[in-house]
Amino acid sequence: MAFITVGAFSCKNTEKDAEAMNAEAAEATEMATEYSVDPAASQIMWEGAKPTGKHHGTINLTSGTIFLNNGKAEAGNFAFDMNSINVEDLEGEDKANLEAHLKGTVEGKEGDFFNVKEFPTAKFEMTGIENNMVKGNLTIKDKTNVVEFPATVTMDGDKMMLKSEPFEIDRTKWGVNYGSKSIFPSLGDKFINDAIIVTISLVATKA
């Protein structure tokens, strides 16, 4: 195996200001090789927290393409299915209730979090690599913000694996405001952290 480091560890908030939104998508050179993301082998891992505890889980990918040149990512995009939000640290009714709340499938609470009936798909589009960080446009609930994250690309024959380090996004930038103390200051200690920790794990094969 050949290991190509795209970035170094970081767990800071890596969003950019609104004026940096909608950067142009990166374009692959003629020398780049196309890899198709395998949704069954790829996933988004998330973790959210509040003063009394935290929860973590996964979201499934639906499609994606990565272009590599000499083992380095030049361009790419992927989409994920918000209906697949999964909570891994709960079971039974507690698990089902939290998943339903996050998805917005509970009547009257559709807009609290991700409202998957109206916004079933989210997507990421790479805009480039700068200072050893993958940069791109992340669209959730039809809102787009620039994020960046460190990642490692591993090559094994015709297969590539891209794994980010954990990085933070501020959910309120995408209009996910439920339980946010920055939006609702009167919540006291009954709030949910704005920051969601995200880890991206992609597996793709040469097209």
> What is residue 128's predicted lDDT score, i.e. its pLDDT?
87
Confidence of residue 70 (pLDDT cuts 50, 70, 90): confident
Q: Given a cut of 90, is residue 1 above it in pLDDT? A: no
Arithmetic mean of pLDDT, 68-72 = 87
Q: Which of 12, 21, 58, 30 is nearest to 138 (CA)?
A: 21
Q: What is the pLDDT of residues 75-105, one digit of tens each?
A: 999 999 999 999 999 999 999 999 999 999 9
Give the Cα separation of 171 and 153 in Å (integer). 27
Give the Cα separation of 43 and 30 in Å (integer). 29
Are 129 and 73 in contact, with CB atoms under 8 Å apart? yes
Q: Given a cut of 60, is residue 4 above it in pLDDT? A: no
Q: Given a cut of 80, is residue 130 above it in pLDDT? A: no
Domains, the chain, in order of start with CATH, read 2-206 (2.40.128.110)
DSSP secondary structure, 22-44, as one string: SPPPP---TT-EEEEE-GGG-EE
Give the Cα separation of 199 and 196 in Å (integer). 10
- Stated pTM of the model: 0.87
Q: What is the pLDDT of residues 10-54, one digit of tens each?
A: 344 444 444 445 678 888 888 899 999 999 999 999 999 999 999
Arithmetic mean of pLDDT, 64-77 = 92
Q: Given a cut of 60, is residue 148 above it in pLDDT? A: yes
Residue with more model confidence, 184 or 17: 184
What percent of the chain stands above pLDDT 70? Answer: 89
> What is residue 198's predicted lDDT score, i.e. its pLDDT?
98
